[in-house]
Structure 1
Amino acid sequence: MSDPSKKDDELAGSEQPFVQHLIELRDRLVKATIAIVVVAVALALYPGPSALYDLLAAPLVSHLPAGSTLIATSVISPFMVPLKVLMMAALLIALPVVLYQIWAFVAPGLYSHEKKLVLPLVVSSTLLFFLGVAFCYFFVFGRVFAFIQSFAPKSITASPDIEAYLSFVLSMFLAFGLAFEVPVVVVVLARMGIFSIEKLKEFRGYFVVLAFIIAAIVTPPDVVSQLALAIPMVALYEIGIIAAQVFIKHTKAPDDEANPTTTSS
């Protein structure tokens, strides 16, 4: 009878000297940086930093009173704020290349079943983050700004500062992007054995309360944005439970598949 401990290790012979790892890491970082710079230069040429900021500000500007615009209270804001938007857009567009470089660096040190675990998580977490940002921009902003303007007194002329608006947008993008990572978190917790599928199902009621608490903390104090964050989080939690069951089944290690239960000899 063959001893399982004698089986060939699929990573045997793939070890590299520490210096080689550092050189490869440097090369990967350089390639990721080049991708971001290339995208930034392309965006600077077309449509340009100012046009990018106009696009970012469009949901707010469309709900301002006629004749109102955003203002700049700092001397260098008209230059620095669009530049920040340009770099943010470049990073988001080049993110798939950056993540691929990270994946290419760590993949050789992973077993085949670990690759089945990590790669789908990297891809899905990236797509979900983009989906959260898009949901915030195209759906949430318009309703939030319309709701806020409906409460503005007629004696007030709304002229938000461009830096304050950028800070608000970034915090909202981050909040919704991370909130849409709920399925990934649920899958990881289940796959690592921290919580069983049954426990996650039992936690449903508590998660609903937790989702509304998180939404109340990270969003503006209006019911529209809070509901827009909390409800998707609850729905994504259910999706995460379903995904976890499928994910666990298809990412088992070979030893786990051969020996689903441990028996004593």
Structure 2
Amino acid sequence: MSTPDISSNTMPLMEHLIELKNRLTVAVGALLIAFIGCYYFSSNIYAFLVEPLAQLLAEMGGNRRMIYTALHEAFFTQLKVSFFAAFLIAFPVIATQFWRFLAPGLYKNEKAALAPYLVLSPILFLMGSALVYYFIMPMAWKFFLSFETMGLDGSLPIQLEAKVNEYLSLVMKLIFAFGISFQLPLVLTLLARVGFATSRGLAAKRKYAVVITFAFAAFMTPPDLISQVGLAIPILFLYEVSILSVRAIEKKRADIVEDEDEDDFEETDFNMT
């Protein structure tokens, strides 16, 4: 049986540190450039993030607005939004630099196994972000706005005047939570590849996964049933997908072992004859 070739050149510690510094410089530079661009277009990013709420408020009519109550709040919120968008844009560059630093120390079969995950990870993150932006947030905001009252019989009306910092922090938290949650199949399949998870073990722990999923959804989302269920159900679906993916990996691994055993048996039989 041949040992897989490792595609790394032995380098002293100082050269590894220099390589790490160069990769970090490129990653930080990409993040800085993306941040400057996002800050320039921060008003467009703000309009995009506010759109789900703005549409509902426009349908309800009236002169609606968002407020801030501290002098520095709007400025720092703009910085926060710009950095959040910049990190999403620069993430492919950051991940590529991280990969190029690690790849020389990996075997060829390890690189072939990990490479697809670098492509699937941002795709799954975008899928989770799209789900919360186009489906979950409109329903959740509509639910919260249903508590407004017109103030009949001389009582004071109850009307939403959302703080811009709180609203955008909530939106970014939801996008991040859904995007990270959609990485579940990748995490579990990677654990399966290194032997820390099995399809049988994942299936046996399904009931615990349900409890943990709903607890995680309750922690990461606003205190409404729509957001919590909207996050929990996709995670549970992805958990089932992960079990099927891990099962496929185990089957492929078993087939490889079986082929190697057959080759060893044929070689032994040939030597005996």
Q: TM-score range by the shorter chain?
A: 0.7 to 0.9
- Opposite residue 16 of structure 1, the aligned amino acid is M
TM-score using structure 2 length: 0.82
Q: Quick one: which of 104, 115, 127 aligns to 2:111? A: 115
Provide TM-score, normalisation by structure 1: 0.85
Distance 1:75 1:219 in 2: 28
Separation in 2 of the partners of 1:195 and 1:52?
40
Counterpart mapping for 1:56-205 below 5 A? 56-64=49-57, 65=60, 66-154=62-150, 155-205=157-207
Aligned partners of 1:136 and 1:172 also within 8 Å: yes
Q: Which amino acid aligns with 2:193?
A: R
Q: For the pair shown, which has the larger CA radius of gyration, 1 or 2? A: 2
- 5+ unaligned residues in a row in structure 2: which ranges? 151-156, 263-273
1:137–1:67 CA distance, 2 compared to 1 (3 A): same
Query: What letter matches 1:35 in structure 2?
Result: A
For 1:15, the aligned partner's letter is T
Task: Give 1:54's match in structure 2, choosing from 44, 47, 56.
Answer: 47
Separation in structure 2 between the aligned mates of residue 131 and residue 84 of structure 1, nearest angstrom = 23
Deviation at 1:8, TM superposition (A): 6.4
Runs of 5+ unmatched residues, structure 1: 261-265
Taking structure 1 as reference, are residues 31 and 207 closer, same or farther at Cα in structure 2, changes over 3 Å only? same
**Shift of the alpha carbon at 1:175?**
1.8
How many angstroms does 1:75 deviate by? 0.5
Between structures 1 and 2, the one with greater helix share: 2
Provide the rounded CA distance (Å) in 1 between the counterparts of 2:197 and 2:8.
36
- 1:15 is matched with 10
Q: Tell which deviates more after alignment, 166-175 or 232-241.
A: 166-175
Give identity over the alignment, percent. Answer: 35
Structure 1 vs Structure 2 CA RMSD: 2.8
Inter-partner Cα distance in structure 2 for 1:173 and 1:63:
19
Query: Does the aligned pair in 2 maintain the 1:186–1:244 contact within 8 Å?
Result: yes
Q: What does the per-residue CA deviation read over 1:63-92, in whole Å, with 9 as the maximum and x for residues that have no partner?
A: 235312110111122222122211211110
- Deviation (angstroms), 1:259: 5.2
Rounded Cα–Cα distance in structure 2 between residues aligned with 1:85 and 1:12? 40
